[in-house]
Amino acid sequence: MSEQQQYADTVKQVSYNVSNKVLPMTKMPATLLEAYEGLLAELLADKAGEFQQSWDALPASAQKLFSQAQFHGFYIANAWMQLSRVAQEIADSAESEEEMNDKEYDGVFGRLAQASLKESLRKLKKARTDRSLFNSIKLVMAE
């Protein structure tokens, strides 16, 4: 197995483990599972290089807490949970699908992904000195 495939497998497994703690993946409707897989693929590809740049800018003490692949999976799961929450709020506030289509939601995904990355980075940096946060992150990453 190539190093790139191992990285992708680790990212997917950690993201799945974290997400599964909030919403059991086996109970997720097929359309949501498809959306999750799409999000995973897009954020794993990191075409804009935001994740890689953010990881490279981290202090070594933060990078040593988890592997890059583990942290990447944690970030993707965090983005998934934020996106799911916002999507539910949008659905709850809209009276009809037509009303949802009329509203402007362009750029919501990008803003959520950036906010999720910032939040994940903040948690990782804080976990260097907060043992309980470190342990809870480690716990949600585990199967």
DSSP state for residue 104 in the 8-state scheme: -
Mean pLDDT by 10 residues, the chain (143 residues): 93 93 81 86 94 96 96 94 77 59 61 92 96 95 88
Where are the alpha helices (H) located in 23-128, listed in sequence order? Answer: 30-45, 50-57, 60-63, 68-93, 97-102, 108-127
Other beta carbons within 10 Å of 17:
19
Q: Tell me the CATH architecture of domain 3-141.
A: Orthogonal Bundle (1.10)
The pLDDT value recorded for residue 97 is: 58
CA distances, 133 to each of 9, 29, 85, 103 (Å): 25, 31, 22, 38
The pLDDT value recorded for residue 96 is: 55
The pLDDT value recorded for residue 26 is: 83
The pLDDT value recorded for residue 20 is: 87
Query: Can you give the residue ranges of every domain in the chain?
Result: 3-141
The pLDDT value recorded for residue 127 is: 96
The pLDDT value recorded for residue 30 is: 83
Query: With contact defined as beta carbons under 8 Å apart, do 97 and 39 qualify?
Result: no
Q: CB under 8 Å to 68, separation ≥6 — which residues?
A: 7, 55
Of the candidates 66, 67, 50, the residue with the CA atom closest to the CA atom of residue 7? 67
Distance between CA atoms of residues 86 and 78, nearest Å: 12
Distance between CA atoms of residues 107 and 89, nearest Å: 16
